[in-house]
Chains A and B, each alone.
Chain A
């Protein structure tokens, strides 16, 4: 994991490109829908979530692709550390380099869309629980599509359906808060998904990466 972090620290450009993508796509919406504050406030949380999902999708291919291409993934598979824990480390590094920076930018975008401070708080909580799941489920599919022709579009086709529940509950939490309802229900569902994915995804990803190698 430390190796992955150091690698991405030395290629900050890739992290920044993902962030830039996130910011520019969120900017497209006020320009296309119109700058009316009421509408923007209504759709703000949804747009931040959708853009976070897409930004994560964009960055997923590099989780394994480079190591797969130069053969170091194979070395890790036969190394003396258990493969699932290496994979878990890579997933953690991916989240630290995409999910985390996105969460730092999200309040800024939230302010642009006119979300109130408490709404931004709920949005951040839902992102904090949700973006790790994006990385976890994404890792499974990134490993499944490793080295395939047309892998990018296939990755989107496989992944976005599985992201829909996250999106629904993540945005649902903010909407429920705006409507004056409790947010615990939505956040608990997100937390449950996080726990389930944290246990299952490294194992499934390791199995998927094995199929790509042998």
Chain B
């Protein structure tokens, strides 16, 4: 385990993150290209929803990521509060904007998809409402951290908020089961065979994987910026930067 702890220090993590970022961005671009090719060109037209269904290749991965990133933030929050590792708090702050972006994309594409299929951009349905709450939670998290000047307090307050807000994620996930809503139920689950054509599923999973890679890449990029900002003046940082550029 001790090799793992080493990377909890910003000094070791900073160069590692720098080395990893291009790979994750590359993987994200490649997966998105393949996924979009399968989704937009190779996959057949849906017999019920026509061409409109193709937005699923953006909508579902974005919705998955919006929930998953929040859970990851809460996990980092727990790690930070229990082990007091500064890097966990930095990762938490680094993930929030990406999560907010995916939540917004999920809502926006959902609205565009809802118009041709349900006949309305927005309905007050349990899943839509709870996803909107998730967006507010992300915005509240960022506003709270921005309002606190002392970084230690900002980290602790953010971690608490992330942990308290995580109760919303299962509500979103199960909302289509608990309430009989307009939003369709899950087509993909781990326990049953998927209720959609294989090629559509492949395209969607590849897009989801691409969204993962993109999230990791942006989070690492942002955490490097946060490390630079917070550790400015630290000895290891000036040594590292000098080695590189002088």
| In contact, A164 and B133 (Cβ under 8 angstroms) | yes
| In contact, B144 and A140 (Cβ under 8 angstroms) | no
Q: A140-B164, A162-B164, A204-B164 are in contact. Are A157 and B143 (CB under 8 A)?
A: yes
Give Cα A185–Cα B140 distance, bound, in whole angstroms.
30
| In contact, B144 and A161 (Cβ under 8 angstroms) | no
Q: Which residues of B contact A157 (CB under 8 A)?
A: 136, 139-140, 143
Q: Which residues of B contact A164 (CB under 8 A)?
A: 129, 133
A207: which of B133, B136, B160 is its contact (CB, 8 Å)?
B160
Give Cα A150–Cα B160 distance, bound, in whole angstroms.
20
Give Cα A151–Cα B161 distance, bound, in whole angstroms.
15
Q: Which residue of A lies closest to B165 (CB)?
A: A162
| In contact, A211 and B147 (Cβ under 8 angstroms) | no
**Least distance between A188 CB and chain B CB atoms (Å):** 13
Q: Which residues of A contact B161 (CB under 8 A)?
A: 144, 158
Q: Which residues of A contact B143 (CB under 8 A)?
A: 154, 157-158
Q: Which of B126-180 contact A (CB under 8 A)?
A: 129, 133, 136-137, 139-140, 143-144, 147-148, 152-153, 156-157, 160-161, 163-165, 168, 171
Give Cα A165–Cα B152 distance, bound, in whole angstroms.
31
Give Cα A157–Cα B147 distance, bound, in whole angstroms.
12
Give Cα A144–Cα B161 distance, bound, in whole angstroms.
8
**Least distance between B219 CB and chain A CB atoms (Å):** 23
**Least distance between B88 CB and chain A CB atoms (Å):** 16
**Least distance between B75 CB and chain A CB atoms (Å):** 17
Interface size class of A (residues with CB under 8 A): 20 to 34
| In contact, B164 and A211 (Cβ under 8 angstroms) | no
Decide if the interface of chain B is mainly helix, strand, loop or mixed.
helix
| In contact, B140 and A148 (Cβ under 8 angstroms) | no
Q: Which residue of B lies closest to A193 (CB)?
A: B167
**Least distance between A210 CB and chain B CB atoms (Å):** 8
Q: Is A212 an interface residue (CB 8 A)?
A: yes
Q: A162-B164, A211-B157 are in contact. Are A148 and B148 (CB under 8 A)?
A: yes
| In contact, B153 and A158 (Cβ under 8 angstroms) | no
Q: Which of B109-135 contact A (CB under 8 A)?
A: 129, 133
Q: Which of A163-184 contact B (CB under 8 A)?
A: 164-165, 168
**Least distance between A43 CB and chain B CB atoms (Å):** 14
Q: Which residue of B lies closest to A151 (CB)?
A: B147
Q: Which residues of A contact B147 (CB under 8 A)?
A: 145, 148-151, 154
Q: A140-B164, A150-B147, A154-B144 are in contact. Are A161 and B136 (CB under 8 A)?
A: yes
Q: Which residue of A lies closest to B171 (CB)?
A: A165
| In contact, B171 and A211 (Cβ under 8 angstroms) | no
Give Cα A151–Cα B143 distance, bound, in whole angstroms.
10
Q: Which residue of A lies closest to B126 (CB)?
A: A168
Q: Which residues of B contact A168 (CB under 8 A)?
A: 129
Q: Is A208 an interface residue (CB 8 A)?
A: yes
Q: Which residue of A lies closest to B134 (CB)?
A: A161
Q: Which residues of A contact B136 (CB under 8 A)?
A: 157, 160-161
B144: which of A144, A162, A165, A207 is its contact (CB, 8 Å)?
A144
Give Cα A194–Cα B133 distance, bound, in whole angstroms.
20
Q: Which residue of A lies closest to B156 (CB)?
A: A211
**Least distance between B104 CB and chain A CB atoms (Å):** 15
Q: Which of A83-125 contact B (CB under 8 A)?
A: none
Give Cα A145–Cα B160 distance, bound, in whole angstroms.
12
| In contact, A161 and B140 (Cβ under 8 angstroms) | yes
A residues neighboring B (CB under 8 Å): 137, 140, 144-145, 148-151, 154, 157-158, 160-162, 164-165, 168, 204, 207-208, 211-212
Can you identify 14 A-B contacts, CB atoms within 8 angstroms? A137-B164, A144-B161, A145-B144, A148-B147, A150-B147, A151-B147, A158-B161, A161-B136, A161-B168, A162-B133, A164-B133, A168-B129, A204-B160, A211-B152
- Other CB < 8 Å A-B pairs besides A157-B139, A162-B165, A207-B156, 4 of them? A140-B164, A144-B144, A162-B164, A164-B133
**Which 3 A/B pairs are nearest by Cβ-Cβ distance?**
A211-B156, A161-B136, A158-B140
